[in-house]
């Protein structure tokens, strides 16, 4: 797939985007969920080696390249690694899966009800390397914990500033201002975020497009104006702490949104499973998330 073909697949493809981008701080938790307890590695290199083995097992599973997964978001180390003797992005492309890379370096402390992204001084070099490896796009995450308009406006402004840097490098940015689904004023946060995103989207240049990765809104179909906006290539949804069953149920109430799940996709996979068990378990999760992503059910 070239860039144009990847763009068309993400814009119109039937399926969802797998999030395989757990990074340093969340890697031990991800490994524990996979049945590899802390203490099974003696260094960070060994820890990252174990998580790469898990991701390689996922990417090479027959069901992963079966057409229902249209994209995958990678951690930087995964992007720089190899799967079946190929650079990971190429291994994905060979499976018909469009590669993305997580670019944020974590979150600042909370202020005004939000957590901004930490500085990314080496972003230009990362973007250049990603482009050279055939990566299509990027993902950057902030968090909104309260319905504070000033805080949410600051999150959106920072996200779109970074998105411009990504666009200038020839990559497609996924903007991810995650609303904490456990916050007491989640619905109010959703509504403020919608207003701020629409203003920012209206300010993009001619022919500029971005993607959005959002928490599933408390009110079904609230984000339809974003799905329909000409400057949005695709809107994807994170699971945000919902179980897979809950996340799929909520997603199906929002036609036009597709999944970009991590924990909800991987939660039943275990290191100890045979290849047959592993592939069957992953296949069932992929089928369930796919059905929710292509659902046309009304709210």
CB atoms < 10 A from the CB of 32, how many?
A: 12
Residue 277, helix vs strand vs coil: helix
- Predicted model pTM: 0.95
d(C-alpha 160, C-alpha 97), whole Å: 26
Q: Any idea which residue has 């299509």 for tokens?
A: 136
| Inter-axis angle of helices 244-252 and 275-294, nearest 10 | 20
Q: What is the pLDDT along the chain (299 residues), one digit of tens a residue?
A: 999 999 999 999 999 999 998 775 678 888 888 999 888 898 988 998 999 999 999 999 999 999 999 999 999 999 999 999 999 999 999 999 999 999 999 999 999 999 999 999 999 999 999 999 999 999 999 999 999 999 999 999 999 999 999 999 999 999 999 999 999 999 999 999 999 999 999 999 989 999 999 999 999 999 999 999 999 999 999 999 899 999 999 999 999 999 999 989 999 999 999 999 999 999 999 999 999 999 876 54
d(C-alpha 214, C-alpha 197), whole Å: 11
Among 241, 270, 109, 93, which Cα is nearest to 178's?
Answer: 241
Q: Is the dihedral of CA 128, 141, 164, 256 positive or negative?
A: positive
pLDDT of residue 29: 83
pLDDT of residue 38: 80
d(C-alpha 109, C-alpha 124), whole Å: 24
Question: Under a CB-based contact definition with an 8 Å cutoff, are residues 97 and 72 in contact?
Answer: yes
**Positions of E strands within 67-224:** 69-74, 82-83, 86-87, 98-102, 114-115, 137-144, 172-179, 210-215
pLDDT of residue 26: 75
Joined together, the tokens standing for residue 263 give: 């924990």
Question: Under a CB-based contact definition with an 8 Å cutoff, are residues 160 and 200 in contact?
Answer: yes
CATH 3.40.50.150 is held by the domain 3-294: no
Joined together, the tokens standing for residue 96 give: 């018909």
3-state helix, strand, coil split of the chain in percent (to 5) is 45, 20, 35
Beta partners for 144?
114, 179
pLDDT of residue 28: 86
Q: What phi and psi values does residue 274 have, to the nearest 5 degrees?
A: -65, 165
Question: Under a CB-based contact definition with an 8 Å cutoff, are residues 244 and 293 in contact?
Answer: no
Residues in the chain: 299
Q: What phi and psi values does residue 258 have, to the nearest 5 degrees?
A: -120, 160
Question: Under a CB-based contact definition with an 8 Å cutoff, are residues 196 and 219 in contact?
Answer: no
Q: Where are the domains of the chain?
A: 3-294
pLDDT of residue 297: 63
Q: Any idea which residue has 């650079």 for tokens?
A: 87
d(C-alpha 200, C-alpha 299), whole Å: 27
pLDDT of residue 295: 86
Known catalytic residues are 176, 213
Joined together, the tokens standing for residue 7 give: 């763009």
């Amino acid at each position: 797939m070239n860039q144009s073909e990847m763009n068309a697949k993400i814009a119109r493809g039937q399926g969802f985007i797998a999030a395989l981008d757990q990074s340093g701080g969340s890697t031990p938790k991800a490994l524990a969920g996979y049945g590899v307890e802390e203490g099974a590695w003696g260094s960070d290199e060994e820890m990252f080696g174990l998580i790469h083995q898990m991701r390689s097992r996922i990417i090479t599973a027959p069901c992963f390249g079966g057409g229902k997964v249209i994209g995958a978001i990678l951690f930087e180390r995964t992007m720089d690694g190899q799967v079946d003797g190929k650079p990971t992005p190429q291994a994905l492309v060979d499976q018909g899966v469009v590669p993305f890379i997580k670019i944020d370096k974590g979150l600042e402390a909370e202020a005004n009800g939000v957590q901004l992204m930490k500085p990314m001084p080496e972003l230009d070099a990362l973007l250049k390397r990603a482009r050279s490896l055939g990566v299509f796009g990027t993902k950057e995450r902030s968090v909104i914990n309260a319905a504070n308009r000033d805080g949410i406006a600051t999150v959106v402004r920072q996200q779109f500033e970074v998105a411009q840097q990504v666009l200038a490098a020839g990559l497609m940015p996924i903007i991810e201002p995650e609303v904490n689904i456990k916050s007491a004023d989640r619905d109010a946060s959703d509504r403020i975020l919608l207003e701020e995103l629409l203003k920012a989207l209206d300010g993009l240049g001619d022919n500029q497009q971005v993607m959005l990765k959002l928490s599933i809104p408390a009110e079904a179909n609230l984000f339809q104006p974003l799905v329909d906006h000409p400057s949005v290539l695709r809107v994807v949804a994170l699971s945000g702490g919902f179980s897979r069953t809950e996340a799929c149920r909520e997603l199906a109430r929002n036609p036009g949104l597709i999944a970009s799940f991590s924990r909800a996709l991987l939660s039943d996979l275990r290191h100890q499973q045979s290849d047959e068990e592993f592939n069957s378990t992953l296949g069932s999760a992929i089928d369930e998330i796919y059905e929710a992503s292509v659902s046309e059910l009304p709210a």
